């Protein structure tokens, strides 16, 4: 190990920044809200400002400083200032001059009470920043809430569990249960109650359910929050719209349970899926219920949310890019346009047996885009309903099969021939129907199908 990273408490300390320009400003920003007293000496060549002092520091100015950052371009001046600061007892960093520095500034990820540093000893700062970007993407913004929660309970845990090993086991269990997810979501009161419950009943760790939207299929369209949930899951309960490329983002040793459905072929009834989710959470597992698109847009996420709440299971919804957005973008179709579409509606062509269908009369206005989910089998009904309600037969339509995926296919036509188009092109689910003037933007795309053939 060539570099040792130390954690320096900042409240009550004095930090000095010397120099003008972007480099000095970047160092000064590091200490906003840190609890340290910051003084910034920008040099005599700048105009005075409330943010800085327009002169060089003296030995008296540097006395008592814990850290001094020097960002001046003149090597001689930088060397002299570094010597002055070092003589005052401070640790010195000279920007871009590792040989003149007592320490180097690492690439920092700041989550309040949790700070992560990546260092290369000053030899490759750009590499450190790139590593930081990758690590930062894996950390939730609300991590500081969890650190503050743990800090607030520390003495209670110590008094309840005098034995060090028992305390360590408690914290290990607490950070694997539902409390961390609740805390980073801002539900700190619920998280605190869960930790206290676990402290009193350490044998009963309760898990948590994440209702996660997988998006339309392209793994790069997963949200960072969805990716974090997958990478921390013990169990992934997924449907058929979650492709292998997305499932591969889950933790390698997570159990995968398939509960997919397709029209006329229900492999697992919805009630059994809810029962399975509850059982896994009560066993103390982090459960990800992975659903194509967004859980709350024709994904029955509301039913599962209701079932978890009724069972007393903590549940967190993680939205996904719904098919209308992902597929339309992949096909180059703007869902709204100042000249062609002032409204957009999401409609499902599949309803409960005996249930009411869409109100086509309210959806048939011109300059109104319809994104029709689950419309392959119901294409004839969509066509008939809109034509009967007055939509013009020459209204453009686009059918996007496997939108955003490598085997995406786009076929285009007019509303009057929608059912014939779907049948002739042998469109299969998942596919999205777009009806409206903006559908004319879609370019027919058959390369993926032809290549597969």
Long-range own/partner contacts, residues 58-65 (CB < 8 A, 24 or more apart): 59/84, 59/87, 59/88, 61/16, 62/16, 62/88, 62/90, 63/88, 63/89, 64/14, 64/88, 64/89, 65/14, 65/15, 65/16, 65/89, 65/90
Q: Residue 242: how many CB atoms within 10 A of its CB?
A: 23
Residue of 77, 102, 110, 261 with catalytic role: 261
Taking the C-alpha atoms of residue 409 and residue 311, their distance in angstroms, rounded to an integer, is 42
Q: Which two tokens stand for residue 398?
A: 């686009």
Taking the C-alpha atoms of residue 440 and residue 326, their distance in angstroms, rounded to an integer, is 17
239 flagged as catalytic: yes
Q: Which two tokens stand for residue 305?
A: 């949310």
Taking the C-alpha atoms of residue 231 and residue 303, their distance in angstroms, rounded to an integer, is 25
E strand or H helix at 328 = helix 323-330
Give which of 439, 368, 436 is closest to 400, Cα–Cα: 439
* Collapsed DSSP state (helix, strand, coil) of residue 287: strand
291 flagged as catalytic: no
Exposure of 407 in the CB half-sphere (CA atoms within 13 A): 13
Beta-bridge mates of residue 399: 411, 433
Residue 342 DSSP label: S
Residue of 61, 239, 294, 314 with catalytic role: 239
Q: Is 192 exposed, middle or buried (0-12, 13-18, 19+ CB in 10 A)?
A: middle
List the catalytic residues. Answer: 239, 261
């Amino acid at each position: 190990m060539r570099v040792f990273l130390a954690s320096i408490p900042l409240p009550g300390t004095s930090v000095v920044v010397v120099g003008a320009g972007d480099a000095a400003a970047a160092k000064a920003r590091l200490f906003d809200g840190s609890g340290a007293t910051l003084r910034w000496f920008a040099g005599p060549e700048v105009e005075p400002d409330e943010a800085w002092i327009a002169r060089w520091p003296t030995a008296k100015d540097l006395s008592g400083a814990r850290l001094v950052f020097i960002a001046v371009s003149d090597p001689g001046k930088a060397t002299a200032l570094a010597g002055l600061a070092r003589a005052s007892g401070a640790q010195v960093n000279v920007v871009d001059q590792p040989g003149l520095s007592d320490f180097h500034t690492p690439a920092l990820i700041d989550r309040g009470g949790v700070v992560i540093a990546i260092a290369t000893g000053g030899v490759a700062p750009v590499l450190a920043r790139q590593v930081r970007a990758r690590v930062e993407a894996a950390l939730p913004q609300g991590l500081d809430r969890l650190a503050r929660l743990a800090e607030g309970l520390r003495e209670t845990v110590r008094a309840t569990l005098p034995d060090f090993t028992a305390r360590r086991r408690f914290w290990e269990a607490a950070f694997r249960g539902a409390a961390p997810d609740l805390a980073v979501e801002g539900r700190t009161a619920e998280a605190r109650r869960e930790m206290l419950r676990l402290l009193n009943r350490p044998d009963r760790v309760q898990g948590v359910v994440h209702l996660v939207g997988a998006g339309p299929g392209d793994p790069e369209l997963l949200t960072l929050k969805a990716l974090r949930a997958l990478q921390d899951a013990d169990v992934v309960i997924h449907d058929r719209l979650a492709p292998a490329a997305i499932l591969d983002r889950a933790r390698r040793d997570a159990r995968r349970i398939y509960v997919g459905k397709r029209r006329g072929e229900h492999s697992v009834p919805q009630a059994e899926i809810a029962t399975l989710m509850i059982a896994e959470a009560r066993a103390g597992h982090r459960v990800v219920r992975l659903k194509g698109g967004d859980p709350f847009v024709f994904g029955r996420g509301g039913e599962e949310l209701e079932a978890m709440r009724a069972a007393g299971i903590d549940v967190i919804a993680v939205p996904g890019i719904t098919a209308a957005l992902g597929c339309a973008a992949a096909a180059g179709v703007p869902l709204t346009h100042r000249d062609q579409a002032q409204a957009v509606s999401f409609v499902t062509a599949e309803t409960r047996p005996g249930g009411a269908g869409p109100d086509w009369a309210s959806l048939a206005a011109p300059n109104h885009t319809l994104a029709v989910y689950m419309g392959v089998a119901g294409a004839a009904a969509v066509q008939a309903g809109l034509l009967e309600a007055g939509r013009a037969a020459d209204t453009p339509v686009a059918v996007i099969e496997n939108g955003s995926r490598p085997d995406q296919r786009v076929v285009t036509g007019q509303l009057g021939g929608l059912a014939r188009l779907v049948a002739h092109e042998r469109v299969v689910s998942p596919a999205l129907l777009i009806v409206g003037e903006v559908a004319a933007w879609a370019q027919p795309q058959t390369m993926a199908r032809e290549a597969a053939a």
